[in-house]
Amino acid sequence: MRRSRSLGADYFEALYRGSRDPWDFETSDYERAKYADTLASLGEGPVRRALEMGCSIGVFTRDLATVCDRLVATDLSATALTEARRRCADLANVEFRQARSVADGLEGTYDLIILSEVVYYWDEADLTAVARAISRALAPAGRLLLVHWLGQTDYPRSADAAVEALWAGLKGVARVEKAERRREYRLDLWRRIEAFS
């Protein structure tokens, strides 16, 4: 049965206190293939300013930092961020911030926003808040990249329902640049089609 409310900081903090790497980001073949596919989908050229929401312990953050001039990485869990900061301590172009809400961190302007395996954690109210914040934060011609596992969960939404709901919240703001399905996950790359209002 699906949860009716967003999974918040307490949920994730408990996970990371119980296990330093609860999803096996460091060792999973699934994660390594997904990370490589995610980076490849961005194509050539550096990204000036990017935001990674839900950076966890910073495994993908290290990879993403290689294509970004500046990267802001956020997470709800203080424990996860401690490990992410340790892992990426040598990266001068990465800034970590603890998010106080799901839309926290979406201040300023970004050329790229990454939502990897996070949108299905959000209920209707939080998803609406994030869509509004993205509408303000995504630069003209900026890209929004979503990657979500297709398996069964008890999260508020399935991967498909989460992506469809966010797309509805960004109606008229973005166009689809890429929509791909792998056996275990989907990857969606959208590009902003309008300037700031």
pLDDT digits (tens, 9 = 90+) for 52-65: 999 999 999 999 99
Indicate whether 15 pLDDT > 90: no
Mean pLDDT score across all residues of the chain? 93
What is Dmax (Cα atoms) for the chain? Answer: 45
Is 97 inside any structural domain? yes
Q: Is residue 1 part of a domain?
A: no
Predicted pLDDT of residue 104: 82
Any domain includes 140: yes
Judge whether 113 lies within some domain. yes
Each residue's pLDDT tens digit, 152-162: 988 999 999 99
Per the structure, the count of domains in the chain is: 1
| Residue 197 reports pLDDT greater than 50 | no
Q: What is the pLDDT of residues 73-116, one digit of tens each?
A: 999 999 999 999 999 999 999 999 999 888 888 888 999 999 99
Residue 197 lies in a domain: no
Determine the pLDDT at residue 101.
86
User: What CATH number is attached to the domain comprising 108?
Assistant: 3.40.50.150
Mean pLDDT over residues 148-177, rounded? Answer: 94
The answer to the question of residue 3 being in a domain is: no
Residue 2 in any domain: the answer is: no
Quote the pLDDT of residue 196: 47
Handedness of CA 62, 146, 39, 153 (dihedral sign): positive
Is 4 within a domain? Answer: no
pLDDT of res. 44: 79
129 pLDDT exceeds 90? yes
Domain of residue 71 covers: 9-192
